[in-house]
Amino acid sequence: MVDGLRISRTLPMNMKPAVIIPVYNHSLQIGEVIRQARKLGLPVFVVDDGSTDSTGEIIGTIDGITVLRHSENTGKGAAILTGFAAAIKHDCNWAITLDGDGQHNPEDSRELLNAVEDGERCIVIGKRQGMNDVNVPWTSKFGRMFSNFWIWVAGGPLVEDSQSGFRLYPLPEALQLATKARRYQFEVEILVKAQRQGIPTKEAPVRVIYQAKGERVSHFRPWLDFMRNSVTFNRLIWARLFSMFRP
């Protein structure tokens, strides 16, 4: 452990966060991501969402973490929910989620935790800095603006980086929001559902690392995920309209 990174020593007594890393076929980066996350001194839950490459073998050789496995790929949202449930069983009351592709610096978890006021129960999004870098694909830039707008239309919070997977969630509240989406759209829906339940969303600046094209593994499929996002937004907007006109 590197003492300079240990967050656990500086947390309030009533704050017990865990790190949850959903992963699917990220064998190139996942080992280093986990090693950096372990330096925080927090419980680390790695959810292997049905990987078919060597990801499972790699995480199986790393000590000091809890590995959870899905027999098949069920989606990022499903993996996060599995992590939430496991963290609650270990008496954790907050969950830090970060992607397994090396995009996030686990050390920036401190920024997310510091954004929470005493006694506050909220979601904190890691607002990625440097999104205009040459290595950032246009789909990520457009997707962020598209998602920000429609989350607001659906009755969710007005935020600047609704696509960031680097987040802090309150537990067990995040597990009780009855989200239906189980893939990437989960991270959209939970913001809307939380807002409706009076759970605010905040943002804190974090660094972002986008590897050059060919080095970065992404499972984002522009057209398919655009259609899935549209279906999710339509469902959430109609639910909002129905609730507004319901007697």
Q: What is the mean pLDDT of residues 171-177?
A: 98
Q: Residue holding tokens 């990520």?
A: 140
Q: Is the peptide bond before 172 cis (omega within 30 degrees of 0)?
A: yes
CATH number at 213 reads: 3.90.550.10
Domain that holds residue 238: 3-245
Residue type, 103: Q
Q: Pinpoint the alpha helices (H) of 11-60.
A: 30-38, 55-60
Q: Residue 76 is inside which H or E element, if any?
A: helix 76-89
In the structure, what pLDDT confidence band is assigned to residue 5 with cuts at 50, 70 and 90?
low
50 SS3 class: coil
In sequence order, what E strands does 62-152 have? 66-70, 94-97, 123-128
Cα torsion for 207, 213, 215, 217, to the nearest 10°?
80
In the structure, what pLDDT confidence band is assigned to residue 223 with cuts at 50, 70 and 90?
low
Q: How far from the centroid of its chain's Cα atoms is residue 122's Cα?
A: 14
Q: Is the pLDDT of residue 4 over 70?
A: no
Beta carbons within 10 angstroms of residue 11's beta carbon: 16
Give the predicted TM-score (pTM) of the model.
0.89
Count up the domains in the chain and report the number.
1
For residue 125, give every residue at least 6 positions away whose Cβ sits within 8 Å of its Cβ, in sequence order, or none: 159, 161, 162, 164, 166, 167, 201, 202, 203, 204
CA–CA gap between residue 245 and residue 247 (Å, rounded): 6
Q: Is the pLDDT of residue 122 over 80?
A: yes
139 SS3 class: helix
Q: What is the mean pLDDT of residues 163-170?
A: 97
